[in-house]
Structure 1
Amino acid sequence: MTLCEFFGCAFIGFGPAIAMLTLTIAQDPVLVIIVFGSGFFWLLSSLVSSGLWLLIGLTSMAHTIHLVLSVTLSVLCQEGFRYLLYLTMKMFNNGLNNMFDSNVVNWKMMSYAAGVGFGVMSGVFSVVNVLADAVGPATVGLKTGSDKFLLASASLAFCFVLLHVFWSVIFFHAVDTANFAKISWVIVTHLLASTLTLLNTSGHYSAVVIPNYVIVLLTAGIAFRAAGGTLNSLKSSFSPRIVVRCHESRSLEQNRKIARERLLTLLDNHINGEDSVEAQIKRETKRVSDIISEMKRERREKIRKLKESVANAKKTSNDSQENS
C-alpha cells in the first residue's frame, strides 16, 4: 500500500513535468541543454541562499521571523539567478544566431524550457524527502499527523512546477520589453506562494493548496498573453486544421501541388460548404502562400550570398595576380 501511495504522489507531482519534457522538449537537443542548465542555476540559487542564511545568522532570531526571512531570502535568490539565467541564455541565443542564418530555437520555447528546469528542480527538492518516507514501512497519518500531508505535498510540488514555467515565460518577456509590472508580478506571487506553504505546519492544507492554484490560473493567463496568445488563437487550437508541411527538399511546384490536393480533399469532405470551412480554407491557403513566399525569399538570399562570395573570391584572385 505504501508503494502505491509513493507512485501516486510521485506522478501527481512530476507526471505533468515528465509529459512536458517528453512531448515538447526531448526532441530538441538545445532545449534539453537549457533544461539541465536552468536546473543547475536553481541549485546555485539554493546554495547562495543557504550561504547567506548562515552568514547573516538567521538562526538566532525568533522562529516565525526566522522562517519568513528564510523564505524571502530564498525567493529573492531564485529570482536573481533567473535573471542571470536570462542573461546567459541571451548571449547563448545571440551566438547561435551569428552562426546560422535564422533562429535555431524559438526564444519563447527557450524561456519555457528554462521554466521547466527551474520547476522540476524546485519540485524535486521540496518533495523528495516526503516521497522517501512514503515508501514505508509506516504510513503517514496512521497514528499522528494528517493522512492528507502526502497528497498536499505532491499537489504543491505540481503547483510550483507549473508556476516556475509560467514565471520564466513572463519574466523573460518582461525583461525583453522592460515591463516592470510583470517583473513585480513574478516576484510578488513567488513570495506569496512560498509564504503560504508555511501554513502546512498548522494542518490547514486547503488554505495553502487552493490559493496557490488560484495564483497558478492567474499566472497562466498572463504567461499565455506574454507568449503571444490571443482568444482567437486559443479557439483555433481546438478547431480542426489542415496541416500542410512544406519541405525544402521538394520543389516549389511539388509543395503547391500538395497544398492544392489537401484543399480539394477538404472540399470533398465538406460538400455542405459551411462558412467556417470556407474561412478555414482561406486562412490555410494564405498560410501556405506565405510559406512558399518565405522559401522563395530564402532561396534568393542564398543565391545573393553565393554571388557575393564568388565575386569576393574573384577579386581576391585578381589582387593576388596583380601583386605577383
Structure 2
Amino acid sequence: MTVAVFFGCTFIAFGPAFALFIFTIARDPLRVIILIAGAFFWLLSLLLSSLVWFIAMKATGGQDYQLQRGLLIFGVMFSVILQEVFRFAYYKLLRKANEGLAALSEDEHSPISVQQMAYVAGLGFGIMSGAFSMINILSDSLGPGTVGIHGDSQYYFITSAFMTLAVTLLHTFWGVLFFDGCERRRWWVIVLVVALHLLVSGLTFLNPFYEGSLPPAYIIMVVMGICAFFSSGGSLQNILHVLSCKSRSYICSTVTQYIFGQFYFKWTVAIIGCIVCVCENS
C-alpha cells in the first residue's frame, strides 16, 4: 500500500509538470537552459530565506512554542517575498540576454519571445518549489508507519500532492503574469502576484485541516490560469481552435510521433494546453 501511495502522489504532484517539460521544453536547448536557471534562482532564494530563519531560530533558543510558530510563519512569508525578488532579478537577467540574442541574430529578432521565457522560467520555479515541498513527504509515504493512527489526517499525503500540483502550476501562471507586468509596467499586476503568493502560502497556517486549503488554492489557480492565458495574447478563438478536430489531430500526431513513432492516441494534453499553445505561437 505504501508503494501505491508513493507512486500515486508522485504522479499527481509532478505528472503535469513533467508532461509540460517533455512536450514544450525538452526539445529546445535554450528553453532547457532557461528552466534550469530559473530553478537555480529559486534555490538561491530558498538558501537565503533558510539562513535568515535558522539565525532567528538560534537567537530565540527554540523553547517557546508560540514564538517558534510565529517564526515559522515569518520564515514562510519572508521566503515568498524573497522568491518574488529573485523572480524580478531573473526577469531583468533574461531581458538583457534576450536583447543580446536579438543583436546577434541576422534578422535582429530573438529566437525566443518574452512570453515563452516567462512560461519556461515560471515552470522552473514551480518544479523546484514542488520538489522541495514534496520530496520528504514522499519519502515518509514509503513507511514504516500508518498515517492517521494518532488522529492526524489520513489524507495528508494526497492533499499534499494536490497542493504541490497547484503551487507548481501557480508558479507557471505567476511567471507569465509577473513578466507581463514588468514588460508593460503594470505594477499592480506584480503586487497582485505577490499578494496571492502570500495568500496561498499562508492557507496552511489559517486552516488546521489539510483539505480545507485545497479549494481556495485551486480557485486561485484557475483564475490565474485564465488571466495568464489572456495576458499572453490568448482569445476565445484560440480556445475554439485548440478544441477543434483539426487542432486535436495536429497535437496528437505531434506528441505521438515524438514519443512512440507510428503509434497514435485519441487523447491530447489537457493541462493548461491553451496557454502553452499561445506561448508557443507568440
Query: TM-score, normalization: structure 2?
Result: 0.81
Distance 2:154 2:98 in 1: 47
Query: What is the aligned counterpart of 1:74 among 62, 73, 79?
Result: 79
Distance 2:247 2:159 in 1: 43
Distance 2:210 2:157 in 1: 11
Distance 1:134 1:242 in 2: 40
Give the 5 Å matches for 1:5-154.
Answer: 5-55=5-55, 60=60, 62-100=67-105, 101=107, 102-154=109-161
Equivalent position of 1:252 in the other structure: none
Q: Is the 8 A contact 1:59 1:66 kept in 2?
A: no
Distance 2:150 2:54 in 1: 36
Distance 2:58 2:196 in 1: 23
Aligned-residue offset at 1:210: 0.8
| 1:207 and 2:212 are equivalent in the alignment | yes
Q: Is the 8 A contact 1:199 1:205 kept in 2?
A: no
Instruction: Deviation per CA, 1:291-321: give whole Å up to 9, x if none.
Output: xxxxxxxxxxxxxxxxxxxxxxxxxxxxxxx
Distance 2:247 2:196 in 1: 40
Matched residue type, 2:70: I
Distance 1:55 1:236 in 2: 54
Alignment partner of 2:234: what SS? coil
Q: Is the 8 A contact 2:130 2:168 kept in 1?
A: yes
Distance 1:155 1:86 in 2: 28
Aligned-residue offset at 1:242: 8.0
**In structure 2, do the counterparts of structure 1 residues 43 and 242 end up closer, same or farther at CA, with 3 Å as the change threshold?**
closer
Equivalent position of 1:179 in the other structure: 186
**In structure 2, do the counterparts of structure 1 residues 143 and 49 end up closer, same or farther at CA, with 3 Å as the change threshold?**
closer
Q: Is the 8 A contact 2:57 2:68 kept in 1?
A: no
Percent sequence identity over aligned pairs: 39
- Greater relative contact order structure (CA < 8 Å, 6+ sep): 2
Q: Is the 8 A contact 1:111 1:168 kept in 2?
A: yes
Distance 1:235 1:121 in 2: 33
Matched residue type, 1:69: F
Instruction: Deviation per CA, 1:232-289: give whole Å up to 9, x if none.
Output: 222222124489xxxxxxxxxxxxxxxxxxxxxxxxxxxxxxxxxxxxxxxxxxxxxx
Distance 1:233 1:242 in 2: 10
Distance 1:22 1:242 in 2: 19
Equivalent position of 2:201 in the other structure: 194
Distance 2:54 2:126 in 1: 25
Equivalent position of 1:234 in the other structure: 239
Superposed CA RMSD in Å reads 2.0
Distance 1:242 1:119 in 2: 28
Distance 1:178 1:44 in 2: 26
Equivalent position of 1:250 in the other structure: none
Size of the aligned set, in residue pairs, is: 242
Q: Is the 8 A contact 1:34 1:113 kept in 2?
A: yes
Segments of structure 2 that go 5 or more residues without pairing to the other structure are 61-65, 249-282
Query: TM-score, normalization: structure 1?
Result: 0.71
Runs of 4+ in 1 over 4 A off after TM superposition: 55-59
Equivalent position of 2:2 in the other structure: 2
Segments of structure 1 that go 5 or more residues without pairing to the other structure are 244-324
**In structure 2, do the counterparts of structure 1 residues 241 and 84 end up closer, same or farther at CA, with 3 Å as the change threshold?**
same
Q: Is the 8 A contact 1:159 1:216 kept in 2?
A: yes
Matched residue type, 2:118: S
Alignment partner of 2:144: what SS? coil
Equivalent position of 2:267 in the other structure: none
Matched residue type, 1:227: S
Query: What is the aligned counterpart of 2:164 among 157, 167, 183?
Result: 157
Instruction: Deviation per CA, 1:76-95: give whole Å up to 9, x if none.
Output: 00000000110111111111
**In structure 2, do the counterparts of structure 1 residues 166 and 59 end up closer, same or farther at CA, with 3 Å as the change threshold?**
farther
Distance 2:84 2:58 in 1: 20
Distance 2:220 2:170 in 1: 8
Aligned-residue offset at 1:72: 1.2
**In structure 2, do the counterparts of structure 1 residues 90 and 70 end up closer, same or farther at CA, with 3 Å as the change threshold?**
same
Aligned-residue offset at 1:65: 2.4
Pair member with larger Rg:
1
Aligned-residue offset at 1:146: 1.8
